[in-house]
Amino acid sequence: MVKKENFSTWQIAATYIGTMVGAGFASGQETLQFFSSYGTQGLWGILLATFGFGFFGMLVMRFAWQINASSHAALFRLLFGPLLGSFLDWLLNAFLFSTLLIMLAASGAVFEEHLGLSRWWGILLAALLALLVLFFGVRGILAANAWLVPLLILMVLGISLYSLFYHGLSWEVMAQPPASPGVAPHWLLASLLYLSYNLILSATILAPLGGQSQKSSPLYLGAWLGALGIGLLTVLIALVVLVHFPQILDFEIPILYIVKPHPFFIRLIVILVLWTEIFTTMIANLFGLAVRLQDKWGKPPLFWSFILLAAAILFSHYPFSLLVETLYPLLGYAGLAFLLALSYHFLKN
């Protein structure tokens, strides 16, 4: 029997945002490759993705609430049936493990590129703190996001508005052609891939939240509030990235390149906040995978978290940007089936 909790709209929205604003988003790497690479057409892609996050995020939690889902596996069985649902469930689990590599690699990149320390300090610190948070279960994840997401919002607002004011945003900048190849041949496909892979990863935490919520209204409002928040932040980052072409293309963490000329204490604050947002996405994905393994083979999520992190550390030496541009689009193509299934189930009912 799933234990019911009284979640607030802000807890749902903050967790939704926190799940998505990890290594790729908060660093600017995702925005660069999925939107800014297409010039101003990428802004239309952001608008499309924002609506999709609100609508499909609401559906994920609505269906999970109706069936009292304890994990994303129950939702997959509802949408795809037992056979195909099990296949997609384990496919997602494989991608969840891949995201652990991305988050750990991003943490190492922050420490190496901008703190002058070994990347292994960043990797090990992220792993140890993740184990500490997951000791408290889903409540620990909700509390971490409720405190850390406002910091990210303030950081992105401050950096973006200052940068746009300092550099200016002329029509020539807005109308410039794409400066680098994107992840897909067209901005529309790139936007759909961005929506689908973020949504299917978010389902690993949204489904348990939906299943455990006492009421449905905070789920619906939280989905749309979270989507609007992520859309606004993405637009701001996309505009800032556009005005820093082409130099910004040479950096693993674009947002830190933007603040590099500023005093060290400002850069240090930005680095710390950015690192915490990488951390919030990591713990959400780690929790979703650990809960799924618990359902399958027993043992508490903390046990599986330790095993998963130990394995992920062995493969976390790959470049962060390479992981984003290869694994994320692949997950996006797989997630398109998830969007179609949600749409079909919604129309059928």
Residues in contact with 191: Cβ distance below 8 Å, sequence separation at least 6, in sequence order: 34, 35, 42, 44, 45, 46, 48, 49
The pLDDT tens digits of the residues spanning 11-32 come to: 899 889 888 876 556 667 778 8
pLDDT of residue 45: 93
The pLDDT tens digits of the residues spanning 134-169 come to: 888 777 888 888 888 888 788 778 878 877 777 666
pLDDT of residue 273: 74
User: In whole angstroms, what separates CA 239 from the centre of its chain?
Assistant: 20
More confident residue, 98 or 199: 199
Cα angle: 292, vertex 88, 234; to 5 degrees: 85
**pLDDT classification of 184: cutoffs 50, 70, 90:** confident
**At 197, which helix (H) or strand (E)?**
helix 187-212
| Dihedral pair phi/psi, residue 5, rounded to 5° | -125, 155
Alpha carbon separation from 288 to 17, 45, 71, 168 (Å, rounded): 16, 28, 7, 42
The pLDDT tens digits of the residues spanning 81-92 come to: 888 888 888 878
Work out the average pLDDT over 63-77. 87
pLDDT of residue 46: 94
The pLDDT tens digits of the residues spanning 303-345 come to: 888 898 988 888 766 655 565 566 666 777 778 888 999 999 9
Q: Which CATH architecture has domain 25-348?
A: Orthogonal Bundle (1.10)
Lowest mean pLDDT among 68-72, 79-83, 344-348: 68-72
**pLDDT classification of 58: cutoffs 50, 70, 90:** very high
Whether omega before 254 lies within 30 degrees of 0, making that bond cis, reads no
pLDDT, mean over the chain: 81
Q: Which of 229, 202, 166 is nearest to 9 (CA)?
A: 229
Domain parsing of the chain, residue ranges: 25-348
pLDDT for 178 beyond 60: no
Q: How many CB atoms lie within 10 A of CB 216?
A: 14
pLDDT of residue 226: 94
Percent of the chain beyond pLDDT 70?
86
Q: How many CB atoms lie within 10 A of CB 338?
A: 23
Q: How many CB atoms lie within 10 A of CB 214?
A: 10
Residues in contact with 259: Cβ distance below 8 Å, sequence separation at least 6, in sequence order: 159, 266, 267, 270
The pLDDT tens digits of the residues spanning 264-309 come to: 777 777 777 778 778 888 888 888 888 888 877 878 878 888 898 9
pLDDT for 179 beyond 60: no
The pLDDT tens digits of the residues spanning 85-131 come to: 888 888 788 878 877 887 888 788 788 877 788 888 988 999 999 98
Record the tokens describing residue 276, joined without a space: 């915490």
* Look-up of token digits 């290869």: 326
Residues in contact with 139: Cβ distance below 8 Å, sequence separation at least 6, in sequence order: none
Alpha carbon distance 335, 348 (integer Å): 20
pLDDT of residue 13: 92
Which residues are registered as beta bridge partners of 5? 213
More confident residue, 71 or 35: 35
pLDDT of residue 204: 85
pLDDT of residue 65: 93
Alpha carbon distance 31, 243 (integer Å): 13
